[in-house]
Amino acid sequence: MKVYCLIIMLIALILTGFPAAGSAAGQEFTIVNNSSSDFYDLAITPANSAERGPNVLNGDDLQSGQSLRVVFPNYNSGITQWDILGISCCGEKLKWQQLNLNSARMITLRDGGIAELN
């Protein structure tokens, strides 16, 4: 009986450890670029933060009309408002502000700072 209880406790410990490991890796999104710009750098940072987050494109480019699955490494579910900062291939800086990314799985970026979240 003691072995049985020990096995159950071990399984419970393992199962409760998995969500924490998943959170550490970051949240995944599909980003759709429906803007007229091509991006070589795209960062997601807490809203109005002075510090720029890491480039989620990881060396890839996100051309106009394309979509890309990215890992959002600095995701924190306690933060509800995020900004997306893009740098185009021509050096133009674009910003999408005050986005609630807690339940979004797809982010569609449009010209004029407009983003649709699904």
CATH architecture of 26-117: Sandwich (2.60)
Name the pairing type of β-strands 67-72 and 82-88: unpaired
pTM for the model:
0.76
The answer to whether the CB of 33 falls within 8 A of the CB of 65 is yes
Give 116's strand partners: 108
Exposure on the CB side of residue 105, measured as CA atoms within 13 A:
0
Instruction: For residues 91 and 35, give the distance between their C-alpha atoms in angstroms, rounded to a whole number.
Output: 15
What residue ranges do the domains of the chain occupy? 26-117
Write the CA distances from 94 to 26, 41, 64, 84, integer angstroms.
23, 10, 13, 8
- Identify the pLDDT of residue 45: 93
- Identify the pLDDT of residue 75: 87
pLDDT tens-place values along the chain, 118 residues long: 555 544 555 454 454 443 333 344 578 889 999 999 999 999 999 999 998 889 999 899 999 999 999 988 888 889 999 999 999 999 999 999 999 998 899 999 999 999 999 9
- Identify the pLDDT of residue 61: 94
Write the CA distances from 100 to 13, 24, 86, 93, 107, integer angstroms.
32, 20, 17, 21, 11
